[in-house]
Amino acid sequence: MIDNFKHQGAREKMIDLLRKKNIASEQVLLAMKQVPRQFFIDSVFEKYAYDDKAFSIGEGQTISQPSTVAIQSTLLDVVQGDKILEVGTGSGYQAHVLHKLGAKVFSVERQKILFKKTRILLNSLGSSVQTFYGDGYAGLPQHAPFDKIIVTCGAPVIPATLVAQLKTGGIMVIPLGHPQQVMTRIIRKNENDVDITAHGNFHFVPMLGKKSV
């Protein structure tokens, strides 16, 4: 895997573009600057790696576009050492950005082929992200509670199981709705109350139930 001056230059440009859009914290931009996006996509798309676009990663799934990664990561308000659950590992790009932000990431993927491929990639990058093959609707009870939860596929409703795995004061960022999603931020205030805010419209692949083989 190569990350040369050309890639680094294109990455700088992408970061500048995101900075101009005023959608991300400097901390998030710094993390994204450290992650070669070309490693996470098929080599046929390499020259477009720093376009603000989503690309196919196989199995009918996509890597999120950089501005979406920037927005979701900023809404999560990541603090060094945060324990974060990600639903939808996909290419591993978003998870690796969260790792660069100093989080301890647990990421679940329901597509076996993607799960296997991405686990190998993240290991080869020396990422601390722990990956799991499973249904994100169930979360990861064995590792709960989490400081933050990020869902990177479009969910029809707020999954109660995931809210239950958030610490008090914890934040969940989840795209909600069909066919378009509203980026939604949920803060768990206490045992029974949540604060819910909306942060714009997006298009995600759907959050599906059960594992696929």
**Closest residue by Cα to residue 148 from 84, 52, 103:** 84
Phi, psi at 79, each rounded to 5°: -115, 140
Interacting positions 64-83 with ligand SAH (CB under 6 A): 64
How many positions of this chain bind ligand SAH (CB under 6 A)?
A: 23
Query: Could you tell me the two tokens for 28?
Result: 């998030």
Binding window for ligand SAH (CB under 6 A); candidates: 3-11, 12-20, 87-95, 181-189: 87-95
| Minimum CB–partner distance for residue 129 and ligand SAH (Å) | 11
109 binds ligand SAH (CB under 6 A): yes
Q: Which lies closer to ligand SAH via its Cβ, residue 60 or residue 169?
A: 60
User: At 211, is the secondary structure helix, strand, or coil?
Assistant: coil
User: At 102, is the secondary structure helix, strand, or coil?
Assistant: coil
Choosing from 25, 43, 56, 64, which is the catalytic residue?
64
115 binds ligand SAH (CB under 6 A): no
Contact 86, 78 (CB under 8 A): no
What is the x/- site pattern for ligand SAH, positions 120-139, by CB under 6 A? ---------------xxx--
- Burial class for 96, CB neighbours closer than 10 Å (0-12, 13-18, 19+): buried
49 binds ligand SAH (CB under 6 A): no
Distance between CA atoms of residues 196 and 129, nearest Å: 28
| Minimum CB–partner distance for residue 132 and ligand SAH (Å) | 9
Does residue 124 carry a catalytic annotation? no
Q: Which residue is nearest to ligand SAH (CB)?
A: 90
Q: Which lies closer to ligand SAH via its Cβ, residue 15 or residue 118?
A: 118
Q: Which lies closer to ligand SAH via its Cβ, residue 82 or residue 135?
A: 135
Contact 147, 95 (CB under 8 A): no
Interface residue with ligand SAH, options 14, 24, 28, 61 (CB under 6 A): 61
Sign of the four-CA dihedral 143, 145, 147, 153: positive
88 binds ligand SAH (CB under 6 A): yes
Helix (H), strand (E), coil (C) string for 114-162: HHHHHHHHHHHCCCCCEEEECCHHHCCCCCCCEEEEEECCEECCCCHHH
Catalytic machinery residues: 64
Give the interface with ligand SAH as residue ranges (CB under 6 A). 61-64, 87-88, 90-91, 93-94, 108-111, 114, 135-137, 152-153, 205, 207-208
